[in-house]
A and B are shown apart, each in its own frame.
Chain A
Amino acid sequence: MKSYASIAAVVALLACVPLLTASNVALNFMVVALLIALVGQGWNVLGGYGGQYSFGHAAFFGTGAYVTAILQVHYGLNAWLGLVIGIAAGALIGAITGALSFRSGLRGSYFALVTLAFAEVLRIVASVAPITGAGVGTLIKLDLRWETFQFQSRAPFYWIILAFVAASLVLVKLMEGSRFGAYLVAVRENEDAAKAVGIDVLRVKLAAMTLSAAITAAGGCFYAQYFLFLDAGIAYGPWISVEALLAPIIGGIGTVYGPLLGALVVKTLGEVTKLATGDAPGLDLVIYGCVLILVVAFAPQGIAGLLRRRA
């Protein structure tokens, strides 16, 4: 119970941010950081707890984003309903790609490669398919109402994404203390041993990938509502696949708070870089890449691991 209290405390603290500042820049920064924390938590379920490193989480992010957007733009569906369907669609893509890859016994490099390929196929298809607006992109009509999941100020967006993050923290915490969580970690540590104690390895991996995809798709849906614009390079681009894994690995892979911690650190680093050098394209990503390598080399348990070692 103590751990749920700590989640509540962290979330309550973060919820106060819009009360302290009305600065759009500051709130925008926090919204994006929390979005990455959410997407990263999705990756963390499969990669951190399950040991299956995906290099193509853009497939789920983009599917969530596009399904929400297209349902609103072309079918006039309510945005909140679109959110639910977007998450379900992302989960479905996760289940399908998971079933295909895990049934074929793909692991390690091969799994990373095939997830990357799935995301690329979706990106190319989205860049030519008429329904996504092909080269032009998809624009959600501006209509600032609560019912359309659009707001004049940043604060409501901030609280919504914070609620998503809070839900993902609780979900992962619940998972950690459940049989499913124990099985998932067992599969990560040793598949043969897991089979020998009665674990249906395929099913556990599939469930993890579906859950992981659903969480990441929720991030995609939110992205669509927040920016109101999508194109193939944004929704299915490699940038989001990289950010999805960067946050948990830097924060602490396979831990509840890792993705949140990592996202805040990574985004802060990115901002500092921008402030120090002007808005130079690419430099923030150079820093991210270096930090990724340094963390793998010197702090394999991420920031959470460093904190634990000091404690």
Chain B
Amino acid sequence: MSEILRVENVSRRFGGLLALDRAALTVTEGQIVALVGPNGAGKTTLFSIVTGFLKPTDGRVFYRGAEITGMPPHLLARRGIARTFQIAQPFAGLTVRENIAVGAHLSRPARADALAAAEDVAQAVGLTPALDRPAASLTVAGRKRLELARALAIEPQLLLLDEVLAGLNPSELRDMVPVIRAIAQRGITILMIEHVMQAVMSLAEGVFVLAEGRIIAHGAPREIAADPRVIEAYLGHGAAERMRQHG
């Protein structure tokens, strides 16, 4: 399997804050890879750099072997990189169908084709009943699905999901996990930021851990869960030691 995304020593500074510090990761085509880490670790910043919404202060990004560092978002989208937003960003005044159709337009100039394609995508993420509702009226779970649907509509090869499972209740979560798995089975590579560890364990083939702007560990989900560095990053210095003593 070939490599689809490579992030090389990417740093990003906001004023005095170093949000990313030489972060590096690679994603292999066809996989589901998770990016985890405590709040403020720089995960969304990394996503924004990969998708062109932010420029890195330093470092390079490659997509299918070609450098894409600093390219604007719309060109990256046209190359097949789609993203969702952590805080859903619907086209609030439009219906669900119209929202998805905007994405579908990327490869379909005709309005009728885009609207028809929107129906198929809605089916895939379970939004069919809501097709004609205004996007603004959706629940949190509905908005997350809409984010996913709109990203899928551009027919991406690489899909970056920013916490699409956060804020869902257990039954919504149970519904959503198979949807993501089905997307991957269609051959779309997924890089997901996720806090819901149970979902990460069941979905991801590889996990990268970001803490204070640095990738501190990567590997298979089971290894990562047991890695003392990861536990410390989440729970504070000395936590792994204390857990071993108590556990």
User: Chain A residue with minimal CB distance to B111?
Assistant: A177
B111 touches A193 (CB 8 A): no
Q: Bound state CA distance, A200 and B73, in angstroms?
A: 9
Q: Among B78, B83, B102, B108, which residue has its beta carbon within 8 angstroms of that of A186?
A: B102
Number of A-B pairs, beta carbon distance below 8 Å: 80
Q: Among A177, A185, A192, A197, which residue has its beta carbon within 8 angstroms of that of B150?
A: A197
A189 touches B78 (CB 8 A): no
Interface residues in A163-213 (C-beta closer than 8 Å to B): 177-179, 182-183, 185-186, 188-190, 192-201
A198 touches B106 (CB 8 A): yes
A198 touches B74 (CB 8 A): yes
Count of residues in B whose CB is under 8 Å from the partner chain: 32
A182 touches B105 (CB 8 A): yes
Q: Bound state CA distance, A139 and B98, in angstroms?
A: 50
Q: Which residues of A contact B83 (CB under 8 A)?
A: 196
Q: Which residues of B contact A201 (CB under 8 A)?
A: 74
Q: How far is the CB of A172 from chain B (nearest CB, A)?
A: 15
Q: Among B98, B102, B151, which residue has its beta carbon within 8 angstroms of that of A194?
A: B102
Q: Which residues of A contact B93 (CB under 8 A)?
A: 185, 188-189
Contacts A186-B102, A189-B91 given; does A196 touch B111 at CB 8 Å = no
B 92-120 to A, binary, CB cutoff 8 A, 1 in contact else 0: 11100010011101101111001000000
A178 touches B111 (CB 8 A): yes
Judged by a CB distance under 8 angstroms, whether B82 is at the interface is yes
Judged by a CB distance under 8 angstroms, whether B90 is at the interface is yes
A199 touches B74 (CB 8 A): yes
Q: Bound state CA distance, A268 and B110, in angstroms?
A: 40
A183 touches B94 (CB 8 A): no
Contacts A177-B111, A195-B73 given; does A183 touch B89 at CB 8 Å = no
Q: Which of A189, A190, A198 has the most CB of B within 10 A?
A: A198
B154 touches A182 (CB 8 A): no
Q: Which residues of A contact B108 (CB under 8 A)?
A: 179
Interface residues in B58-84 (C-beta closer than 8 Å to A): 72-74, 77-78, 82-83
Q: Is the interface of A mostly helix, strand, loop or mixed?
A: helix
B91 touches A186 (CB 8 A): yes
User: Chain A residue with minimal CB distance to B92?
Assistant: A189
B89 touches A192 (CB 8 A): yes
Q: Bound state CA distance, A200 and B77, in angstroms?
A: 10
Q: Which residues of B contact A197 (CB under 8 A)?
A: 77, 82, 102-103, 105-106, 150-151, 153-154
Q: Which of B83, B102, B108, B111 has the most CB of A within 10 A?
A: B102
Interface residues in B116-170 (C-beta closer than 8 Å to A): 150-151, 153-154
Q: Which residues of B contact A195 (CB under 8 A)?
A: 52-53, 72-74, 77
Contacts A179-B105, A179-B109 given; does A196 touch B91 at CB 8 Å = no
Q: Which residues of B contact A188 (CB under 8 A)?
A: 93
Contacts A189-B93, A190-B89, A198-B154 given; does A182 touch B101 at CB 8 Å = yes
A196 touches B82 (CB 8 A): yes
Q: Bound state CA distance, A188 and B103, in angstroms?
A: 15
Q: How far is the CB of A290 from chain B (nearest CB, A)?
A: 27
Q: Which residues of A contact B103 (CB under 8 A)?
A: 197-198
B94 touches A189 (CB 8 A): yes
User: Chain B residue with minimal CB distance to A197?
Assistant: B103
Q: Which residues of B contact A198 (CB under 8 A)?
A: 74, 77-78, 103, 106, 154
Q: Bound state CA distance, A189 and B89, in angstroms?
A: 9
Judged by a CB distance under 8 angstroms, whether B51 is at the interface is yes
Q: Which of A179, A188, A192, A200 has the most CB of B within 10 A?
A: A179
Q: Which residues of B contact A185 (CB under 8 A)?
A: 91, 93-94, 98
Q: Among A177, A179, A193, A199, which residue has its beta carbon within 8 angstroms of that of B89?
A: A193
Q: Bound state CA distance, A192 and B87, in angstroms?
A: 12
A196 touches B85 (CB 8 A): yes
Interface residues in A203-225 (C-beta closer than 8 Å to B): none
Q: Bound state CA distance, A199 and B153, in angstroms?
A: 13
Q: Bound state CA distance, A199 and B101, in angstroms?
A: 13
Q: How far is the CB of B20 from chain A (nearest CB, A)?
A: 20
Q: Bound state CA distance, A196 and B151, in angstroms?
A: 8
B114 touches A192 (CB 8 A): no
Q: Bound state CA distance, A188 and B82, in angstroms?
A: 20
Interface residues in B17-66 (C-beta closer than 8 Å to A): 51-53
Q: Which residues of A contact B154 (CB under 8 A)?
A: 197-198
Q: Bound state CA distance, A150 and B72, in angstroms?
A: 51
Q: How far is the CB of B214 from chain A (nearest CB, A)?
A: 27
Q: Which of A177, A183, A192 has the most CB of B within 10 A?
A: A192
Q: Bound state CA distance, A182 and B150, in angstroms?
A: 14
A/B interface sample: 19 pairs, CB < 8 A = A179-B109, A179-B110, A179-B114, A182-B98, A185-B98, A189-B91, A189-B92, A189-B93, A189-B94, A192-B53, A193-B85, A195-B74, A196-B82, A196-B85, A197-B151, A198-B74, A198-B78, A198-B106, A201-B74
Closest 5 CB pairs of A and B: A198-B77, A189-B91, A195-B73, A193-B89, A197-B103
Given A195-B77, A196-B89, A198-B78; 4 other pairs, CB 8 A cutoff: A182-B111, A190-B89, A196-B51, A198-B74
